[in-house]
Structure 1
Amino acid sequence: MMKCKWCDADEAIENKNVVYWELPDGSRAITITETPSRSCQACGMEYQEDDITKEIEDQLFLINTKDLEGEISYEALMEKPRLLKRNYFDFTL
């Protein structure tokens, strides 16, 4: 078990969840299944670590989202071919 980011209890576990994500252009939202997540047994919070959130956001900026299905697994999303090598709009690097 690991520490929960929400309640600080040492009762968070790794799991996979369904998440809903708005596309960068705001045109629609998609369902991403089997997303690496954390679940806290103490407070019940389910969340993604910051690195997973960043990976999803970067990937959605770098692929052609026009043909993206309404539901896709995390792994299939990450395997989509990129139009650019990296997110040049991320100034936090």
Structure 2
Amino acid sequence: MVCKWCESEEAIVSPESAYWELPDGTRAVEIKEVPSVKCPSCSMVYVEEDLIGEIEEQMMLINTRNLPKEFTFEELMEQPRLLKKNYFNL
């Protein structure tokens, strides 16, 4: 995998924690085991844009009041959606 920061080919996919502000801005949560890119060359750890989009969309479509302070990426993606799609991103 190629690091988007330093272009090293040593980057790997690694489950990492990420901190996210809920869409309504009421609080931040910790999402554990988010598939992330970790680069040993430049020490950068980041979540790729397409996955950020998936997380943001899921947050818009679920009842975030039911979320605990911390949970796994898998638990987030398994939350039942209130809407079938995000009508705000047309």
Q: Deviations over 1:49-89 (max 9, x none)?
A: 11110111000000001121000100000000000011111
Find the counterpart in structure 2 of residue 30 from structure 1: 29
Find the counterpart in structure 2 of residue 87 from structure 1: 86
Find the counterpart in structure 2 of residue 57 from structure 1: 56
Distance 1:73 1:9 in 2: 28
Deviation at 1:90, TM superposition (A): 1.4
Q: Could you state the TM-score of these two structures normalised by the residue count of structure 1?
A: 0.93
Q: Identify unmatched segments of 5+ residues in structure 1.
A: none
Distance 2:76 2:53 in 1: 13
Q: Could you state the TM-score of these two structures normalised by the residue count of structure 2?
A: 0.96
Distance 1:3 1:73 in 2: 25
SS of 1:66's equivalent in the other structure is: helix
CA RMSD of aligned residues (A): 0.7
The residue type equivalent to 2:21 in the other structure is E
